[in-house]
Structure 1
């Protein structure tokens, strides 16, 4: 094969591969990079060629990498050449992310060249973390289930003996002591029953139910108990599918979530309970929710309270983990909700931002007819409107969600830019960069939240359209953010067809 064919083949490989490919010289200067490298690190190709590969690494790794290259050239010893390893990459915006790096070496006409291939490990790491959390909760469930069973046996003996003593005749002083002991033993039995629900060993009595009716009955109780400082809003779909749930456990779960919301708003506030059908029928939404595609009824409980930090969110469903120990919290409320939903064949999601509130999503599977091939109904590709190369600026502070949003929008036929917060997005617009649509999250760090960014865009760049999105069930959290009904909010998680139709409507 001649040189021209070799060059054409190399070009085809670099253009089509989904992984980052970088060709550098002996000094570590980038001679050639493929388009995937630009997408992965957030640079234009012209910004990379002629620069050191150290531009794409944190300082500590860059120093180590230089040492590896120098050592290999001088001795031929392989410390990184031909050996893949997991390292960290550095994006243009300063964020770090995990990659797998493989390096090859070639001597072409006396010139030392190195080829690096980098594979993004972000999604794999996220999946591994999610699996580890699930496995940890399962292990804790098995442990607590066994303990609860043993404690129930002990409590049975204690309660039985106390009742026998009471029946044999005792004086008033002894009777008071026995009754106090019985009350405590009964509380212990209630505690273990809640542990069994978390461990998915409790006895559920599911019946076909309309979640709207169960929520209305529960709200009649809640409104009398939560106090006048708290406002409860409801948003029930006009029609929803029925699901198989235990009504008592569903109402108990809803009460737990509502009381948690109240405790997160010590000075009063507002929370919303919403119920609607949702169909998860594309890979993006399944990836975002970690759920199997299918038809679900979703119950959302959102508040505008204190919110939860990352560590609290990771451990929220573990039994005995509580941020309210000084207020008498047992750490079993959310564990019970988690166990009930999972035992019912459903899923639970948590979205929270410190200072802006929390939203829990409870998903219960619907029994529904399927197509003749056994699949659930999916959106027809012909019904999904495509873009014509317009530029969408995606504004999202969560790196994983930002990358996912970029993929979703590109798959719809649009070009993308991205920014990590509202301030960076506005700077992009002020710099003169052409943008057709700003697609922004509501809650972000920095000076500009989503509503404030939208207002500045409308004022300074009236030709730029704005689409807002939020992980909260409604706009209950946005009153303090300057929320307005002028903007229709696309609620996370959303289907690809919903995103496509919103973008198409804005640009039509």
Structure 2
């Protein structure tokens, strides 16, 4: 008897402690048991899952296939999914679909068959694979483009040389205009190939020690004369900024490309913000979010509150000849040149955008060794930790939501997650025990981050709110109606910044 109780206790402990989701079902697919990891993964309470069909955890098409597979296995003993790990899709309570690795085992209890499913969330892995695929695709396009540009330059050399020989050898008055037009076209072709070489990271850079503040001010002096009075241009430059080694000609060209793109995105006028900041990539989370190697960087951000970019446009933004503008308005090489130049400079480019709310490009350049007194604050050896307080994470991007859950859980907090402001508000209205809300600002649905914070201040006044965004505050707040001014934790942020902000909010709450 004691052995039975011990075995039951051990089994319970295994289910409770397991990191991956575990779901036990009978031959009809009814859920007999599930562990807390499964409830968290699928965003259900355990009580909501027990006794229900496992089909509730799958998209419709997958549920139909599952029923056929299970019936076939019971009738024939053939294993299509039993004992075989495979990648499938799961469906959360909010109907969002995400990638899973599923392993199903078969056993018997009291003569009745049971099936044990072990499920591992592949969201982060898939996102990493997608990012790697994009990077590899751009690298492949760059190599191909560099080769084509090199060969095309050889052809242009022959064409230009022969045209100049014809011009020098006594072309008549009728021929000279034709030769001149041909030479001008050849020069345009040469300019095109030089821009392609920049994307391919094969241009000849002449880097020099640079203070990016001065470069930005010089560029803005030109921009202000061309943009007109309907554009509000602001800057946010710190007093102490690290120097970088960068080619000034290419940098100014990249900056003008981004600024003019922002102008085009704000047809009726709007806000443009140029900001500079020392950034230290010093933990796994931030490196994962930005796809940048650890180190010190200077980030140049160009943000607008224009029409924004669709997901497809963001995915292809840096490809040569891809453009959302009419064909007569550009060749689609501007962002490709920016990408190639920054990568060749040892840096990286990030892009945040949302339709109707604007776009923010971040250019990261490796910082030169900091002089005494100009470095970033020392990273504390031990980060401030929570005491299992409950934090409601509100984020519509699955990859960022998953990352935020891991970051905050690692700091010692318990987690509830929502994929929109509307869902988060409903969770609070339903009486969930929450100590703090950590919300993105820009989200689909009725409630953006500011709206959610306003409702919380009105209906749950003791509940603290921390907002985060990948956009510049001075740009996005004009597009999102709100009254109260909030301090924004800007993406990408360091784990130490997140830990300190959360600790400060909980300390302030204790003092209230």
Verify same fold: TM over 0.5. Answer: yes
Deviation per residue, 1:291-314 (Å, 9 max, x gap)? 112111101000100100110000
CA pair 115-137 structure 1, distance change in 2 beyond 3 A: same
**Residues 412-460 of structure 1: CA deviation (Å, up to 9, x unaligned):** 2222222222222222222233322222111111122222222222122
Match of 2:307 in 1: 306
Distance 1:489 1:166 in 2: 64
Question: In the alignment, is the contact (CA less than 8 A) between 1:58 and 1:89 conserved in 2?
Answer: yes
* Shift in alpha-carbon separation, 1:430–1:485, aligned structure 2, 3 A: closer
Match of 1:471 in 2: 470
Residues of 2 paired with 1:449 and 1:218: CA distance?
34
Matching residue of 1:438: 437
TM-superposed deviation, 1:239: 0.7
Is contact 1:234–1:272 with CA below 8 Å preserved after alignment? Answer: yes
Distance 1:460 1:281, change over 3 A: same
CA contact (8 A) 2:273 2:474 kept: no
Q: Counterpart of 2:403?
A: 404
- 1:240 equivalent to 2:241? Answer yes
Superposed CA offset, 1:104-146 (max 9, x none): 1112331211111111111111111111111111111111111
The 8 Å contact of residues 305 and 479 in structure 2, kept in 1 or not, is answered as no
Say whether 1:182 aligns with 2:183: yes
Q: CA deviation at 1:355?
A: 0.6
Per-residue Cα deviation, 1:28-61 (whole angstroms, up to 9, x for no partner): 2222211211111111222222222111111221
Alignment partner of 1:83 is 2:91: no
2:227 aligned residue:
226
* Matched residue, 2:41: 40
Within 5 Å, which residues of 2 pair with 1:116-127?
116-127=117-128
Gaps of 5+ in 2: 508-512
1:379: how far off?
2.5
**Superimposed CA distance per residue, residues 231-265 of structure 1 (whole angstroms, 9 cap, x where no aligned partner):** 22111111111111111111110000001101111
Separation (CA, whole Å) in 2 of partners of 1:277 and 1:377: 11
Aligned to 1:54: 55
Q: Is the 8 A contact 1:286 1:292 kept in 2?
A: yes
Counterparts of 1:440 and 1:236, CA distance in 2: 26
Q: CA deviation at 1:369?
A: 7.3
Aligned-partner Cα distance in 2 for 1:14–1:105: 17
Inter-partner Cα distance in structure 2 for 1:245 and 1:53: 57
Deviations 1:378-430 (A, max 9, x none): 73242x22222222222111122112212222222222222222222222222
CA distance in structure 2 between the partners assigned to 1:161 and 1:485 by the alignment: 69
1-side partners of 2:472 and 2:328: how far apart? Answer: 27
Q: Distance in 1 between matches of 2:477 and 2:155?
A: 50
Asked if the contact 1:272/1:474 (under 8 Å) is kept, the reply is: no
Aligned-partner Cα distance in 2 for 1:434–1:33:
22
RMSD: 2.0
- Aligned residue in 1 for 2:167: 166
Give the SS at the match of 2:117: strand
| Greater displacement, 1-10 / 158-167 | 1-10
Equivalents in 1 of 2:71, 2:175: separation in Å? Answer: 85
Tell me the residue number matched to 1:108. Answer: 109
Instruction: Give distance in 1, aligned partners of 2:240 and 2:155.
Output: 48
- Following TM superposition, by how much is the alpha carbon of 1:473 offset from its aligned partner in structure 2, in angstroms? 2.8
Q: Tell me the residue number matched to 2:426.
A: 427
Q: 1:316 aligns to what?
A: 317
CA contact 1:387–1:412 (8 Å) conserved in 2: yes
Q: Distance in 2 between matches of 1:368 and 1:9?
A: 55
CA contact (8 A) 2:262 2:303 kept: yes
Question: Is structure 2 residue 388 aligned with structure 1 residue 389?
Answer: yes
Is the 2:467–2:489 Cα contact (8 Å) retained in structure 1?
A: yes
Quickly say closer, same or farther: Cα 1:49–1:83, change in 2 above 3 A. Answer: same
Q: Distance in 2 between matches of 1:458 and 1:366?
A: 41
* Structure-2 residue corresponding to 1:373: none
> 1:5 Cα shift?
4.2
- For the pair 1:364 / 2:368, whether they are aligned, the reply is no
Q: Distance in 2 between matches of 1:60 and 1:235?
A: 51
Distance 2:377 2:184 in 1: 52
Partner SS for 1:452: helix
- Could you say if the C-alpha distance between residues 164 and 226 of structure 1 is closer, same or farther in structure 2, counting changes exceeding 3 Å? farther
Give distance in 1, aligned partners of 2:306 and 2:32: 52
Secondary structure at the aligned position of 1:479 is classed as coil
Aligned to 1:379: 379
Q: Is contact 1:323–1:329 with CA below 8 Å preserved after alignment? A: no
- Does the residue aligned with 1:15 lie in a helix, a strand or coil? helix
Alignment pair present for 1:98 and 2:99: yes
> 1:106·1:114 contact (CA, 8 Å) conserved in 2?
yes
2:261 aligns to what? 260
Which segment drifts farther, 223-232 or 96-105? 223-232
Q: Deviations over 1:183-210 (max 9, x none)?
A: 2211111110000010111111111211
- Equivalenced residues, count: 502
Specify every segment of 5 or more residues in structure 1 that has no aligned partner in the other structure, as ranges.
371-375
Kept after mapping to 2: 8 A contact 1:282/1:378? no
Q: Distance in 1 between matches of 2:193 and 2:381?
A: 50
Check whether the contact 1:101–1:119 (CA below 8 A) recurs between aligned residues.
Answer: yes
Asked if 2 retains the 8 angstrom alpha-carbon contact of 1:281 and 1:377, the reply is no
SS of match in other structure, 2:479: helix
Structure 2 Cα separation of the partners of residues 308 and 292 of structure 1: 27
Give the C-alpha shift of residue 176 in structure 1. Answer: 2.9
Per-residue deviation, 1:367: 3.5
Q: 1:144-198 CA distances to partner (integer Å, 9 max, x unpaired)?
A: 1111111111111222222223333445543333222222211111110000010
